[in-house]
Amino acid sequence: MRNRPTFLMIAMAMVIGDPSREISGANIPPIDQADTELMAADSAIANEAISEAHLPFPQSEDEEREKIDAASVSEVDEIIGNYLESINQTNGNFAGPVSQKLVTRYIRASAEQGHAWAQVIIGYLYVKGQGFSQDDAKAVRWFLLAAEQGEPAAQNWLGFMYLNGFGVNPDSVAAAMLFQKAADQGLADAQYNLGRAYRRGEGVSRDDRLAVDYLRRAAATEHPWAQFELGWMCSRQRGGAGDDVDAVHWYRLSAASGFASAQYNLGFMYEHGRGVERNRDQALVFYRKAAEQNHARAQRALGLMYRDGDGVPQSDTMAVEWFRKSAEQGYSLAQGSLGKMYLDGRGVPQSDKDAARWFRAGAFQGNTWSQNNLAWMYLVGRGVPKDIDAGIALLKQAASKGSVWAQRELGQLFFWGKVVKQNDVESLKWFHKAADQGDPASLYMMGLMHAEGRGVKGDDDKAIEWYRLAADKNFPAAQNNLGTMYATGRGVPKDESTAVHWYQEAAEQEFTLGQTNLGLMYLYGKGVDIDESLAVELLKKAADADQSQALLALEQHAQEQALKQNRQRSMIALAASVAALLLLICRLVLRSNSNLELAGWRSPRFRCHSRS
C-alpha cells in the first residue's frame, strides 16, 4: 500500500451543475415536461369535456349553448320534424317548408293543451333561443310540466338544468333523482348521465360499479358518449369495466360514429401501445380525424408529432400551424407549446415577446408548465421586464399545484441566494416537497442539506437515508456522496470497498467527481488493489472536463512521479559511484600486491602452495 498523500483524497459533490445557471438562462423548463403531463392517459382522457357530461360542460356558458344540439336532443329534433310534417299535411303542402313562426305557434298551442312532448320542445326552444327569446327559467318551467307527466326526455332535460344551474339553483341531488327516473324508463341519455353521476359522486355516493352498469345500458343502444365513457373506465380499470383492450373496443365503436374525443383517445392508445399494438400511423389517422373536427387536444397531438418528426416528416411549420389552431381555442398546453416555438424560433421568427404572451395565456389558466416558463422569463428578463418577485410568485403557484420542476427550482434559488435572499429553511421546504414526489435531484439535495446542517440540524444518518434514495434512482452526485460517507465513516461504518462501489456507479455515468474519487482509490489502493494506469485514466477523464480535484490529483501524481524518478536516478548514481570506488580500491590492492612481489615479499594471504 502506498502512503496517503497530504492531498484530500475524497470530495463531496455540492450541487448539480454550475450554480450561476440560475441567472444565466440555462435553466429553462425542459420542452418535454408538459408533453408528458398532457399525454398521460388519465388526464388526457378523463378531463376531456365530452366525457364529463351529457350535453358537455365547456369553459363558458356560450360554448355550452353552441353544443346543446347533442345526443339528448336527437329525439326532440325528430319530434319537431313530425310536427312540421303534420303541419304541412294540414295545410295541404307535402313538400315545402313552413315558417318558424307558424311552427312555434302550433307547438306552443299543443304544449298549452298539456301535450308532454310539445312541452319538451318548447323548453328546448327556450334553451336555444329559437322562436323565443333565450330564457332558461321558462325552459325549466316547461320541462317541469312535462316531467310531472312522467316524460323521460323532460326528466333528463330538467336534471341537466339542475346539474348546471341553468334557470334554477344548482342541485346535483335533484338532478340525479331526475336522471334515475328517466333511466328507469330506458332513456339512454339519462342512463349515460346517471352513470356519469355515479362515477363522479354528483348527487349520489360514488359507485364505480353502478356507473359501469348504467353506462353499459346506454352503450348497448350505440350511445357514443356512453361508449366513450366506458372506454375511459376500462382504461382506468374502474368498476370492473375491463382493461385497455376493452377500452380500445369501446373507443373504436364511439369513434366510428364520428365522436371526436373517442377518435383522439383511440389515437392515444395507438401512439402509446395501450390495449393495441403500437402503431404511429394509426395514431396519426385518428388524431387527424379528431383534429379536423376542431378537437383541441388532437390538434396539439398532431403538432407534437410534426415538431418531433414522430410518424410524420419533421416540420416546425406544420407543428406551429396545429399548435396555433389548438391554442386559439384556449387549450393551455397548446398555448405553452406555441410559446416554446416562439422562444426557440422554430417554425416562426424568434420572438421573446410572443413567447411570453402565449406562456401568459397558458399560465392564466393555471397550466404549471406555462407558469414555469413565464417565471423563468421574468427571472432573466426575456420578453418581459425583469421582475424577480413576479417570477417567484409564478414558481410558487406552480409548485403549490405539485410541479416538481418549480419546487426544485425554488429550492435551488433559496439554497444559493443569488437571485433571492438566501434562506436554507425555505430551500429545505421546497426540496422536501419535490423529494416527496420522488425527484432524484431533490432527494440528493435533502441528503446534502442534512449532511451540511443547512436548514436543519446536521444528521449524517438522515443524510445517508436521503442519499441512498437518490442513489437508487441512479443519481450520480448522490452515489458519489454516498461513497464519500462510506470512505470517511460518516453515518455508516467505514467501508472503503463499498465506497469504491458507489464511486464506480457515479463514474460510469461520466460524473467527473465520481471518476476523480474512484481514480484516487485505485491510485492509493483504498478498497481495491493499486492500479496506477487505471487511476490515471480516470483522473484524466475528469481533468479533461476541468474537474479541479482531478487536475490537482494529476499534478500531485506527476510531482510524485518526478520525485520517484529523481530518487531512482540518485540511487543509480550512488550505486555507480560505489561501484567505481570499489573498482578503484581493487585496482589499488592489485597494484600494491604487484609492487610487493617485485620487492621479493609476498603476502601470505596471496601465496600459492604446491604439493610435491
| Residue-level pLDDT at 578 | 83
* Chain segment 76-85, per-residue pLDDT in tens: 555 566 666 6
Q: What interhelical angle do 188-200 and 208-219 show, nearest 10?
A: 160
Convert 557-574 into a string of H (helix), E (strand) and C (coil): HHHHHHHHHHHHHHHHHH
Give, rounded to a whole angstrom, the gap between the first and last alpha carbons of the chain: 64
Residue pair 262/224 in contact by the 8 Å Cβ criterion: yes
* Chain segment 237-292, per-residue pLDDT in tens: 999 999 999 999 999 999 999 999 999 999 999 999 999 999 999 999 999 999 99
Q: What is the mean predicted confidence (pLDDT) over 444-468?
A: 96
Residue pair 214/192 in contact by the 8 Å Cβ criterion: yes
Q: Which residues of 489-519 are buried (b: 16+ CB within 10 A; e: fewer)?
A: ebbbeeebebbbbbbbbbbeeebbbbbbbbb
Residue pair 539/556 in contact by the 8 Å Cβ criterion: no
User: CA 90, CA 227: separation in Å to the nearest integer?
Assistant: 41
Percentage of the residues of the chain whose pLDDT score is greater than 90: 69
| Residue-level pLDDT at 83 | 61
Residues in the chain: 612
pTM of the model: 0.76
* Chain segment 566-594, per-residue pLDDT in tens: 777 778 878 888 888 888 888 888 877 77
User: CA 508, CA 480: separation in Å to the nearest integer?
Assistant: 11
Alpha helices in 345-423 (DSSP H): 352-364, 368-380, 388-400, 404-416
Work out the widest C-alpha separation in the chain, in whole angstroms.
172
| Residue-level pLDDT at 73 | 44
Average pLDDT, whole number, for the chain?
Answer: 84
Give the DSSP letter string of 111-176.
HHTT-HHHHHHHHHHHHHTSSS---HHHHHHHHHHHHTTT-HHHHHHHHHHHHHTSSS---HHHHH
pLDDT above 70: residue 503? yes
| Residue-level pLDDT at 110 | 87
Residue pair 176/202 in contact by the 8 Å Cβ criterion: yes
- 400, 406, 411, 417: CA torsion to nearest 10: -110
Q: Which residue has the cell 353521476?
A: 197
- 92: pLDDT confidence band, cut at 50, 70 and 90? low
User: CA 406, CA 394: separation in Å to the nearest integer?
Assistant: 9
pLDDT above 50: residue 230? yes
Question: DSSP assignment, residue 326?
Answer: H
Quote the cell numbers at residue 592: 600494491
**3-state DSSP percent of the chain in helix, strand and coil, to 5:** 70, 0, 30
* CA Rg value for the chain: 40
Q: In this predicted structure, which of 93-102, 150-159, 375-384, 594-603 has the lowest mean pLDDT?
A: 93-102
| Residue-level pLDDT at 158 | 95
The tally of CA atoms less than 13 A away on the side-chain side of residue 174 is 15
The three-class DSSP label of residue 100 is helix
- 72: pLDDT confidence band, cut at 50, 70 and 90? very low
Quote the cell numbers at residue 538: 480516470
User: CA 126, CA 16: separation in Å to the nearest integer?
Assistant: 63
